[in-house]
Structure 1
Amino acid sequence: MTVYDTIGRTYTSTRRPDPRVAARITAALGDAATVVDVGAGAGSYEPPTTVLAVEPSPTMIAQRPPGAAPAVRAVAEAIPLPDKSVDAAMAVLTIHHWTDLAAGLAELRRVARSRVVILTWDQTVAREFWLLREYLPEAIAIDDARAVPIDRLADALDARVEAVPVPHDCTDGFLAAYWRRPAAYLDPAVRAGASGLAQTGDTRLRPGLARLEADLTSGTWTTNHADLLMMDELDAGYRLLVADLP
């Protein structure tokens, strides 16, 4: 059983692809005519050129929409494709779940002819996100333990790194999506859609959530974060890595 067989049962209710994030991923894939999506989940951000989705969780595969690319239950460390069989391999917010990062990266490079595209996050930036720093520091330890340092990843892939800012009305409910809509974090469904919060668990998060609710009621949060309310997007640490293969 994978972690998403437990926490991913209502995943599609809060994790709808954001078109601006999608545009960045599509641009990074360039003119790739065939793509494999590794750690594909329910199929967010898959371009029409996706020929195969690789996903270990049957719970997530079951949530893929009609007409999505065919999915196979498999892991990043053993992608069921021949060498150089697709133009590009993509992996969106998944590498922190892999059991063997080096093996997974090697597999992406093995099956792709031209490009590898990975969306992940820089934990040195993400841990400073107001929600974690001020209210839910218990969740920082989860991501400290599993996040892959961006410089390590860039070196391993010889990739360029691009910041992906989060729009204030982001439709994809990953952890920092609601940075300008703080009341959303009080919703258990929203927390269930962010793996770091879901894995920390509501019991440990309850004191911080109570402080957040009180600060929203009193207006303290608005006073302390008035600058955020003037911003349209925020760099919360999300990073796109793009590697052109020899």
Structure 2
Amino acid sequence: MARYDSIGINYADLRIPDPRIAAAIAQALGPARTVINVGAGTGSYEPADREVTAVEPSIEMIRKRRQPATAVVQANADALPFADKAFDAAMAILTIHHWPDKAAGLREVRRVTKGRIVLLTFDPAQRPWLTDYLPELARLDDAQMPSIADYARWLGPVRIEPLWVPHDCTDGFLYAYWRRPEAYLDAHIRSGSSSFWALRGSDAGLARLADDLQSGAWARRYGDLRTKQTYDAGYRLVIAEPEGAAD
């Protein structure tokens, strides 16, 4: 059974694509007309004006899709059932940390893509403020997330662009609530992030966060975040051009 068959219960309600993030991804895809979305989940950030083929291992996530793709295929990233260079471009959005063999998966993505590959991922070298309360998240990031250097090793030359998270982000991924710390105390909201499903022993850290919010300690340490519109939480667009492309 795919992981999201069990943990994707509230995904459709809590992971609403943010239009500003969607615009950044669409721009990164360039002029491609045919796009493969690997680890597609419910279809978040698939551009509606292109021919998209979605690949997703979880039947539960496929059932929760918000919009129809040209085709939806239940498959894993490391065994894509397509011919070489079948697509103009590829995208993989906040998914690579779930792939059992990340190198093999990206090799497959490169094989079936003749043009640009666009990944949205997280740089595990970053430490958003939430990790001060839940250091387990930092250890989980280190264990699950490839380093930024890995992408160049697996895909060749890549361009890395920070994806700044808006303060009112509609997509409830792990660090989306950077300016809304109270949200992390809500079990329903936490259920939209796979990282919280993987954590063990987070109660003490969440209790400390609740105490600090009530006492004002959080505001004294991080209150300046309340004045910011965007935040570099560590999310990165990794953009790989086809082999032999000019710089």
TM-score class normalised by the smaller sequence: over 0.9
The Cα shift of 1:207 comes to: 1.0
**1:70 CA displacement:** 2.6
Q: Secondary structure at the match of 2:106?
A: helix
Q: CA deviation at 1:170?
A: 0.7
Match of 2:99 in 1: 98
CA distance in 2, matches of 1:96, 1:68: 23
Q: What is the distance in 2 between the residues matched to 1:144 and 1:114?
A: 30
- SS of 2:125's equivalent in the other structure is helix
Tell me the CA shift for residue 79 of structure 1.
1.0
Report if the CA contact (8 A) 2:163-2:232 is conserved. Answer: yes
* Partner of residue 77, structure 1: 78
Give the TM-score of the pair, scaled to structure 2: 0.94
Residue 154 of structure 1 corresponds to which residue in structure 2? Answer: 152
Residue type at the aligned position of 1:37: N
Take 2:168 and 2:74, find their aligned partners in 1: how far apart are those partners?
Answer: 33
User: Do 2:38 and 2:92's aligned partners in 1 also have CA atoms closer than 8 Å?
Assistant: yes
Change in Cα spacing, 1:85 to 1:10, as seen in structure 2 (3 Å) is same
Distance 1:120 1:66, change over 3 A: closer
Measure the CA separation in 2 of the matches of 1:156 and 1:179.
Answer: 31
- In the other structure, the counterpart of 2:40 is 40
Question: Which of the numbers 226, 232, 237 marks the counterpart of 2:234?
Answer: 237
Query: Which residue is equivalent to 1:140?
Result: 138
* Distance in 2 between residues matched to 1:36 and 1:63, nearest whole Å: 18
Structure 1 position 151, deviation (Å): 1.2
Whole-angstrom distance in 2 between the partners of 1:50 and 1:174: 26
Cα 1:50–1:188, aligned 2, differ >3 Å: closer, same or farther?
farther
Matches of 2:241 and 2:125, distance apart in 1: 26
Structure 1 unaligned regions, length at least 5: none
In structure 2, stretches of 5+ residues that fail to align are: none
CA contact (8 A) 2:39 2:57 kept: yes
Conserved? CA contact 2:46–2:52, under 8 Å: no
What percentage of aligned pairs have identical amino acids?
A: 53
Range moving further from structure 2, 187-196 or 35-44: 187-196
Residue 219 of structure 1: aligned partner: 216
Deviations 1:99-129 (A, max 9, x none): 111211111111111111111010001xx21
Q: Which moved more, 1:151-160 or 1:31-40?
A: 151-160
Determine whether 1:168 maps to 2:167: yes
CA distance in 2, matches of 1:196, 1:34: 31
**How many residue pairs get matched?**
241
CA distance in 1, matches of 2:27, 2:148: 20
- TM-score, normalised on structure 1? 0.94
